[in-house]
């Protein structure tokens, strides 16, 4: 694996982590703190291929928010999936 490929993987994971954080904060009505995140690389995007992140809130309790995310490329091609658990501070 080249450094360039590793950088692409890291950027995809960062994109999903940011999307998860934003959506869990919106679901909680407050900023959340990351407890756990897992990401699975399925495929790398082609050069210049547009990417879209989608997040689904799976469950929200009084103190935790559970979410799943998917990063897709052109024509809905699945590139990476992730799941995360976020704590609602003060809860």
The tens digit of pLDDT for each residue in 23-50 reads 999 999 999 999 999 999 999 998 889 9
Inter-CA distances, 42 with 9, 19, 28, 50, Å: 10, 18, 29, 16
pTM of the model: 0.89
Give 49's DSSP letter: -
Residue 47: the pLDDT is 86
Distance of alpha carbon 28 from alpha carbon 87, whole angstroms = 9
Domain positions in the chain: 3-87
Least confident of 3-7, 27-31, 61-65, 77-81: 3-7
Alpha-carbon distance of 81 to 54, in angstroms, equals 10
Q: What is the largest CA-CA distance in the chain?
A: 43
Q: What is the pLDDT of residue 79?
A: 96
User: Which has more pLDDT, 3 or 14?
Assistant: 14
- pLDDT band at residue 3 under the 50/70/90 scheme: low
Task: Note the CATH architecture for domain 3-87.
Answer: Roll (3.10)
The phi, psi pair for 2, rounded to 5°, reads -85, 165
């Amino acid at each position: 694996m080249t450094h360039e490929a590793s950088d692409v993987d890291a950027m995809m994971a960062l994109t999903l982590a940011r999307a998860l954080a934003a959506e869990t904060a919106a679901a909680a009505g407050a900023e959340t703190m990351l407890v756990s995140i897992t990401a699975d690389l399925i495929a790398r995007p082609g050069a210049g291929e547009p990417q879209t992140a989608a997040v689904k809130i799976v469950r929200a309790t009084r103190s935790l928010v559970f979410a799943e995310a998917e990063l897709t490329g052109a024509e809905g091609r699945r590139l990476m999936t992730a799941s995360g658990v976020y704590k609602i501070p003060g809860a």
